[in-house]
Structure 1
Amino acid sequence: MPLLYAMTKADIEFIRKVQQVVLKQKLPLNTEVHYELLNNQKQMVMSKTVMNFSDTSFTEKLEVSHLPHGDYTLIVSTGKPPTILDTITINL
């Protein structure tokens, strides 16, 4: 079933002190959200799946302090089969 709501780009805040990436998106209630972080060789270095229990703004912090500095691609998706909501390039 196709998604029937409009998505906007994720807001990203990288807090170097605590080395976290913060994503904020408006999603329908009870939506499963999948995060995959790929390194510059397109290898998955982290993945996480969470459930959105908020009908307002959805915020998830991804801990990245264990990763070396460099460029990464974050893929945010939802559903099965997954529908990509956003692809974001991050420099840590």
Structure 2
Amino acid sequence: MTKAEVEFIRKVQQVVLKQELPLNTEVHYELLNSSNQVVMSKTVLNFLETNFTEKIEVSHLPHGSYTLIVSTGNPHKHLDTIAIHL
């Protein structure tokens, strides 16, 4: 499985998460602030294609450093931890 890739689109204040995953996979992500508090959490089902893409709206969050934690399945299997700066 490939590592997750993120892209911050400053114009629209979105983080785009891209990950190659099998079909019908539950994808869980949490966005933590610099104090390790969860500011956003979501579970989605990858049922369209193996190249999973999720646009995460971050315009309501203050500028700063965040950590995106990505996992799959139930129980959660850790895939990646990504540092993001908004």
| TM-score for the superposition, normalised by structure 2 | 0.95
Give the greater-gyration-radius structure (CA): 1
Partner of 1:43: 37
Partner of 2:52: 58
- Residue 24 of structure 1 aligns to a residue whose secondary structure is strand
Counterpart CA distance in 2 for 1:27 and 1:52 is 8
Counterpart CA distance in 1 for 2:11 and 2:27 is 26
Structure 1 unaligned blocks of 5 or more: 1-6
Q: Percent identity?
A: 78
Counterpart CA distance in 1 for 2:21 and 2:60 is 28
Taking only aligned residues, the RMSD between alpha carbons, in angstroms, comes to 0.9
**1:61 to partner: Cα distance:** 0.4
Greater fraction of residues in strand: 2
Pairs within 5 Å for 1:1-92: 7-92=1-86
Moved over 6 A (4+): none
| TM-score for the superposition, normalised by structure 1 | 0.89
| Structure ranking higher on relative contact order (CA contacts 8 Å, 6+ apart) | 2
Counterpart CA distance in 2 for 1:78 and 1:10 is 12
